[in-house]
Amino acid sequence: MRDPRYDILFEPVQIGPVTSRNRFYQTPQCNGMGRTYPTSMAVMRGVKAEGGWGVVFAEQCDFHYTSDNTRNVRLWDEQDIPILARMTDMVHEHGSLAGLMLAHNGYITPNIISRELPFSPSGGAAFGNFPTHTRAIDKADIKALHRWTRAAALNAVKAGFDIVNIYAAHDLALPFHFISRKHNTRGDEYGGSLENRVRLLRELIEVAKEAIGDRCAVGVRFSVDELIGPAGICADGEGREVVEMLAELPDIWDVNVSGWAQDSITSRFGEEGRQEAYVDFVKRVTTKPVVGVGRFTSPDTMVGQIRRGVLDMIGAARPSIADPFLPEKIRTGALEDIRECIGCNMCVTNNYLGAPIRCTQNPTMSEEWRRGWHPEYIAHKSTDDTVLIVGAGPAGLEAARAMGQRGYQVLLAEARTELGGRVTLESRLPGLSAWARVRDHRVQQIQKMTNVDVFLDSQMGQDEVAETECSLVAVATGSRWRRDGVGRHLRTPVATTADANVLTPDDIMAGVQVSGHIVIYDDDHFYMGSVVAEALVKQGCTVTILTPAAQFAGFSQMSLEIAHIQRRMAELGVQIVPLTTVTALGAGYVSAVGVFGTDARDIACDAVIMVAGQTPNDTLFRSLSAGQSTQRIVAIGDCQAPATIASAIFAGHKFARDLGLGDPDVVPFLREDVELSPNLSGWGAEPLRGAAE
């Protein structure tokens, strides 16, 4: 039964002309599916509604071809309505409200599909390193923006949406660019004073309200602070003044900090609820409902936000990915079943890669429609197998949990005296403690199952595996970091003298102590190099990082962490040397050279840490596979090929679903194909050859 102190989370909230059944609000959340995998997206949103989110938003929606963002949904005209209507149908089926955030990304989007020049308030270079400049929009463009907003709002209602928000956040939206002094140097009534710079946002909200406000809530998503002090929009400056100016105009305020890397900060760099200090003024300035985010997974924290008058609705993107049933679990008092987001941003990573998002905690994310995987339910066992799982890292734990949920008799054997494998070890590194939730959730579930037996301190060899007489064996024995430097850049081992002090992240995680000057060779390009550097500096070492890449930790661009990592390394005094590889390792030195062959030198050091490739611990799997056993042997997770924790969880889950029996000749998921247009009239509408012919 639910604890009555959480009742407040299930009170209805009036938002303009519509009512949310509770205070759970899934904010716009990019998912890499959007217009490319629309049914996957729609079904995923439906699962969120089923899981109890009273409001479910689509990701940001571009509403005109002058802002084309290929990853997300769009509503350029009526042609796009059916895709969105599929989503609203799925959401309404469970009694939730469907929301759409109209986004014009302005200078951010290079418009690679439509080939339109990006818009901006005052011209200037486009975002990032894209080799184009923007077009300063004129009064006619602003009038057009009014028209497009009105048309999109009307089409959103036709598609079934209950809430339409205007996007003015994250430095990713044109109305935000108009408010920002950094972008807006106009001399007309849309530039200069704050009143003038807010004008575009005010007008777009008014236009949408006038068009649909009687049937549909019209809100705003606004970043109240850019975290750059008074030089930018800030909560005790212009951010607050904007909210004061528009206080009662929108039906709901969805507020946060900017940019996205600050708003969706990883747990390594920002704790749950850290935005409170920036957004807590909003409710004092408006009577309209206020929603905000903060990677909320604790119902007590949520209740605290409401009771202390910070928020009216609990906004969430990532917690709703990790556990689409978070509200339902709170409602029914099943708190110990909550799969808490660990704040790793693997979800964001896949969105950036243009793939349907993955989640470390929730292996069913994006697989709801195409594989028919539900996050809470799984088919009862379909064979008479008894199952042995060797290794209790993320792959083994998830396999045991899901197999147990299916009703199989499961033995889980782990060589160490603690569960969790790499997750347990990595969670002890600086900033990664939340990662232990991957282990804790699964252990908690397994402990409730009478059909899963766990054996610690149980090193399994060929004989021990045979003795269990289990018919199905999943080998999840993980992987280890290579000591020889082989990885992406070096494909053959680096010359190493016998007396060289060469370590790996496994040694650091096992507690090996080092001191003095340490060189880290990073050919991993994700989080591990910087986390090890941080651990060593905290132990009193000085650290130099060599990387063959032009940019250290380059893959963390995808997880929104790169700037946070660079700043942290600078603050810790870690020296980063890019475009540099190692040629030899010896006692007290590393021989290094630029990747183009220049600047060969020896660097004196007390130890070198190789953060390069990894190698599977697959000896047991190989010997079992080569033996005569009648047991069916399957390798899963890092033991098959070292990858992310998310991949290991997915592998464990997939094994539990298909028992390793997937037919490689049959595509294991549904595809949603582009439909061939019957209309070929565009081609050949103009003469192919000129008049000269």
Please report how close the Cβ of residue 646 comes to ligand SF4 at its closest, in angstroms: 6
Residue with tokens 């081992």: 493
For 283-340, give the DSSP string: HHH-SS-EEE-S----HHHHHHHHHTTS-SEEEESHHHHH-TTHHHHHHTT-GGG---
d(CA 236, CA 224): 9
Residue 344 interacts with which of ligand SF4, ligand ADP, none, CB < 5 to 8 Å by class = ligand SF4
Paired with 601 in beta bridges are 592
Closest CA to 26 of 324, 328, 351: 324
Residue 412 interacts with which of ligand ADP, ligand SF4, none, CB < 5 to 8 Å by class = none
Residue 476 interacts with which of ligand ADP, ligand SF4, none, CB < 5 to 8 Å by class = ligand ADP
CB 574 within 8 A of CB 609: no
Among 318, 401, 441, 657, binds ligand SF4 (CB under 6 A): 318
d(CA 228, CA 81): 39
Please report how close the Cβ of residue 505 comes to ligand ADP at its closest, in angstroms: 12
Q: Which is nearer to ligand SF4, 337 or 453 (CB)?
A: 337
Q: Does 345 bind ligand SF4 (CB under 6 A)?
A: yes
CB-CB neighbours of 147 under 10 Å: 11
Residue 91 interacts with which of ligand SF4, ligand ADP, none, CB < 5 to 8 Å by class = none
Q: Which is nearer to ligand ADP, 415 or 593 (CB)?
A: 415
Residue 330 interacts with which of ligand ADP, ligand SF4, none, CB < 5 to 8 Å by class = none
Interacting residue ranges for ligand ADP, rule: CB under 6 A: 390-396, 413-416, 421-422, 458-460, 476-479, 617, 620, 637-639, 648
Amino acid of residue 229: G
Q: Does 361 bind ligand SF4 (CB under 6 A)?
A: yes
How far from 511 is each of 68, 425, 503, 541, 586, CA to CA, in Å?
A: 50, 10, 11, 15, 22
Collapsing DSSP states into helix, strand and coil, what is residue 346? helix
Please report how close the Cβ of residue 324 comes to ligand ADP at its closest, in angstroms: 24
Q: Which stretch, 64-72, 78-86, 318-326, 367-375, contacts ligand SF4 (CB under 6 A)?
A: 318-326
Q: Which residues are catalytic?
A: 30, 167, 170, 263
Residue 383 interacts with which of ligand ADP, ligand SF4, none, CB < 5 to 8 Å by class = none
Q: CA 248 from chain center: how many Å? A: 33
Q: Does 338 bind ligand SF4 (CB under 6 A)?
A: no
Q: Which is nearer to ligand ADP, 100 or 620 (CB)?
A: 620
Q: Does 316 bind ligand SF4 (CB under 6 A)?
A: no
Please report how close the Cβ of residue 357 comes to ligand ADP at its closest, in angstroms: 20
Among 342, 476, 608, 612, binds ligand SF4 (CB under 6 A): 342
Handedness of CA 454, 459, 464, 470 (dihedral sign): positive
Q: If binding means CB under 6 A, how many residues of this protein chain bind ligand SF4?
A: 13
Q: CA 412 from chain center: how many Å? A: 30
Among 360, 364, 405, 581, binds ligand SF4 (CB under 6 A): 360
Residue with tokens 């009038």: 143
Closest CA to 250 of 217, 211, 283: 217
Residue 359 interacts with which of ligand ADP, ligand SF4, none, CB < 5 to 8 Å by class = ligand SF4
Please report how close the Cβ of residue 604 comes to ligand ADP at its closest, in angstroms: 34
How far from 138 is each of 123, 145, 167, 641, 672, CA to CA, in Å?
A: 11, 11, 20, 55, 40
Q: Does 560 bind ligand SF4 (CB under 6 A)?
A: no
Is the backbone peptide bond immediately before 573 cis, with ω within 30 degrees of 0? no
Site residues (vs ligand SF4, CB under 6 A): 318, 321-322, 341-347, 359-361
